[in-house]
Amino acid sequence: MTSSQKLFSLQTIGLIVFVLIVILVSALGATYREQSQDIYSATVVRVLDLVQEGGIYYQNVEAKIDDSGKLISLRIQVRDLNLEEINSGDNIYVRDAQTSISDIYSFAGHRRSNILFWVSIVFFAVMSVILGKEGFKYIVPTMLTFLLVFSGILEALFSISNLYVIALLILGLLAFISMLIQVRNVRIAITVAISQMITLFLILLINVMLFKTTFMTELFYTNVTLISSQVRLIEFWNLINVAVLFIAFGATINTTLDVAQSIVKKKRTYPKTSTINLIREGTVHNQLAVGRVVNSFFFVFLGVTLSSIVLSSGSGLPFWEDPYVVQGVLWFMGASLAALLVGPITALITAISLSQGESPIQLALREGKN
């Protein structure tokens, strides 16, 4: 076996191990994440009669609490007989009211994590095979963030410090790791990561002002779950603004990786090419990358706001007055603007850095790659 084949084998094994670690840690974190003491997982063991009271349908069922094996009776509201059906074996959550006389249980929702877990395994397995080593480099930030979210680490970090600072630090680290894996150049990775953080901060400031002027606080009062859980408005406000950072990062990371990689390939193919030619190469790829980002994010925006666009007539106002639609438009524009800003900066930084030669660290990384 040649040295290149050995290296390929090691990289393949490392890729598989990394995917398995992400899935296992995320699954364990989701399984053992702390939940409310009055909510229990249960399984429907028997479906009883369907009753109608005041024009509302209720499905009576018997369920067994998974931990204790206790049998309980439940009444579950059915809003649509064709779309909502309760079956024996369904995994659900129940809430214990605990009155002074006895425990009274109510339906708290369906369990979806068991299905999501297996779907995620299949999805990441198929994606890893199809993308291969080079394609997988592009989704390193996705895999790492997936690990942070489903392991509960992201939620814990947000609870111990300022949301904006934590979000910027996480995204900065993801940007650095992703760029370092892609171009194997520490100087480029650090500089591009910093430029991304500055760009994201500017996008955040712009969106905060736009959210205020377009009265995005109305989103809070349309969410029954938030109101019933007694979440403060300021907490919701901070989260929808932090969401802007993650959405814009999705645009900037794709753009920077495309631009930087195109310049690195140009330099390796034509070692004596000038800095101007490298910048020109990066600019062309920036235009292509931003075009792809704008396409992708527009249809994502359209998909997540389609229900508000189509059904807004019931409120008596046109859909462009709906806060969810306005929020989607601002997210789309913010992400697109971030990509437009960071692309030329990345092209300039990468071209100049490569033209100045490589430090011993970069040479070591290059030798490790080759």
Structure tokens at 286: 């920036």
**CA 338 – CA 206 distance, rounded (Å):** 11
CATH number at residue 52: 2.40.50.220
Look up the domain containing 73 and give its range. Answer: 39-114
- Residues 144, 159: Cα–Cα separation, whole Å: 19
Say what the pLDDT of residue 37 is. Answer: 62
Same-domain check for residues 234 and 356: yes
Q: Does residue 260 sit within a domain?
A: yes
* Long-range contacts of 163-170, Cβ-Cβ distance < 8 Å, separation of 24 or more: 163/238, 163/239, 163/242, 164/204, 164/238, 164/241, 164/242, 164/245, 167/242, 167/245, 167/246, 168/197, 168/200, 168/201, 168/245, 170/145
Q: Are residues 214 and 284 in the same domain?
A: yes
Residue type, 148: L
Sole residue written with tokens 């992703």: 178
Spatial CA neighbour of 297 closest among 242, 252, 264, 267: 252
- The SS3 assignment for 359 reads coil
Report the half-sphere exposure of 211 (CA within 13 A, side-chain side). 25
**Amino acid present at 48:** L
C-alpha angle 355-358-361 in degrees, rounded to nearest 5: 155
**C-alpha closest to that of 77 among 54, 63, 59, 93:** 59
Within this chain, do residues 109 and 252 fall inside the same structural domain, yes or no? no
Q: What is the pLDDT of residue 212?
A: 86
Q: Is residue 24 part of a domain?
A: no
| CA distances to 27, 326, 327 from 313, in Å | 41, 15, 18
| Among 95, 114, 133, residue at a domain's last position | 114
Same domain, 251 and 187: yes
Per DSSP, the three-state class of 286 is helix
Q: Is the same domain home to 107 and 253?
A: no
The number of C-alpha atoms within 13 Å of 225 and in the hemisphere containing its C-beta is: 3
Q: For residue 208, which of 217, 198, 199 has the smallest C-alpha distance?
A: 217
DSSP 19-60: HHHHHHHHHHHHHH----TTEEEEEEEEEEEEEEETTEEEEE
Residues 69 and 209 grouped into a single domain: no
The two tokens of residue 283 are 């600019």
Element (H, E) at 327: helix 323-355
What is the Cα–Cα distance from 177 to 123, expressed in whole angstroms?
23
The DSSP secondary structure of 106-170, one letter per residue, reads EEEEE--HHHHHHHHHHHHHHHHHHHHHHHHHHTHHHHHHHHHHHTTHHHHHHHHS-HHHHHHHH
Please check whether residue 353 lies inside any domain of the structure.
Answer: yes
- Return the half-sphere exposure (C-beta side, CA atoms, 13 A cut-off) of residue 229: 11
Q: Is residue 152 part of a domain?
A: no
Which DSSP category does 92 fall into? E
Distance separating alpha carbons of residues 140 and 223, to the nearest angstrom: 33
Question: Is 28 part of a structural domain of the chain?
Answer: no
The predicted pLDDT at position 254 comes to 83
- Asked if the structure places residue 281 within a domain, the reply is yes
Q: How many domains does the chain divide into?
A: 2
**In this structure, what token pair is assigned to residue 349?**
């930084």
Nearest of 168, 203, 185, 172 to residue 349 by alpha carbon: 185
Model-wide pTM > 0.85: no
Out of 53, 88, 114, pick the residue that ends a domain.
Answer: 114
Spell 70-109 as b/e; 16+ CB within 10 A means b. Answer: eebebebebeeeeeeebeeebbbbbebeeeeeeeebebbe
Cα dist. 165→72, 171, 236, 245, 338 in Å?
Answer: 46, 10, 17, 11, 19
pLDDT digit string (tens) for the chain, length 370 residues: 554 444 445 555 655 666 566 666 666 655 555 555 678 888 999 988 888 888 888 889 899 988 888 888 888 888 888 888 888 888 888 888 766 566 788 888 888 877 887 888 888 788 878 887 778 778 888 878 887 787 777 877 888 878 899 999 989 988 888 888 887 778 888 888 888 899 999 999 998 898 888 887 777 777 666 666 677 888 888 888 898 899 999 888 888 888 888 888 888 888 888 888 888 888 888 888 888 888 888 898 888 888 878 877 666 677 778 888 888 888 888 888 888 888 888 888 888 887 775 544 444 444 444 4
The reply to whether 51 and 175 lie within a common domain is no
CA distance 232 to 223: 12
| Per-residue pLDDT at 205 | 92
